[in-house]
């Protein structure tokens, strides 16, 4: 990885609006409309039990991970995305490791997530970092798109 910096988004920071705007653009480009959080991003960020880390590479947002902790013991990875031309360079792994570390500091015992089994690069990354497939949920994303439910226990 080059000189990228992983930053926790602070909603009171002066560049927050610009970062959110960049992330929403990325969100719209990567995810199908019905899976995109683009329209609800501000609401998600206002929640007390959610966090967003982004990768800043020379002033450009090239990836992000959004996570939440609905309970004191359990967290979820809601989104992990990296711009297409920055993939396969370790950025997604760095973001995911940072989110896992944030959850560890909260004494979370399990992190869960959902991923399309056809997104093999994502599944491979999650497995590399210790996530295990719990089950296949048919029709999770849409009638013809399933999801693996995966988890990582500490």
Q: Residue 92 sits in which domain range?
A: 5-153
91-142 pLDDT per residue, tens: 999 999 999 999 888 889 999 999 999 999 999 999 999 999 999 999 998 8
As to burial, measured by CB atoms within 10 angstroms (0-12 exposed, 13-18 middle, 19+ buried), residue 39 is: exposed
pTM recorded for the entire structure: 0.86
Output the domain CATH number for residue 47: 3.40.630.30
Token pair, residue 82, equals: 């990296």
User: For position 80, what pLDDT does the model report?
Assistant: 93
DSSP 34: G
Number of domains forming the structure of the chain:
1
Q: What is the Cα–Cα distance from 67 to 53, expressed in whole angstroms?
A: 9
26-78 pLDDT per residue, tens: 877 877 766 666 566 667 666 778 888 999 888 888 999 999 988 889 999 98
Q: How confident is the model at residue 1 (pLDDT cuts 50, 70, 90)?
A: very low
Q: Give me the chain's average pLDDT, please.
A: 86
Give yes or no for a contact between 116 and 147, defined as CB atoms under 8 angstroms apart: yes
């Amino acid at each position: 990885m080059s000189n990228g910096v992983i930053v926790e988004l602070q909603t009171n920071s002066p560049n927050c609006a610009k970062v959110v705007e960049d992330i929403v653009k990325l969100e719209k480009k990567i995810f199908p409309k019905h899976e995109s959080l683009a329209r609800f991003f501000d609401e998600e960020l206002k929640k007390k039990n959610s966090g967003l880390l982004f990768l800043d590479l020379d002033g450009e947002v090239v990836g992000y991970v959004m996570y939440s902790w609905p309970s004191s013991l359990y967290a979820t990875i809601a989104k992990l995305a990296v711009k297409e031309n920055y993939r396969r360079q370790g950025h997604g792994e760095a973001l995911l490791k940072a989110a896992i570390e944030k959850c560890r500091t909260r004494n979370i015992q399990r992190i869960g997530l959902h991923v399309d089994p056809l997104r093999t690069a994502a599944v491979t990354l999650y497995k590399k970092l210790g996530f295990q497939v719990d089950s296949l949920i048919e029709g999770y994303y849409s009638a013809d798109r399933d999801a693996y439910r995966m988890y990582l226990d500490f």
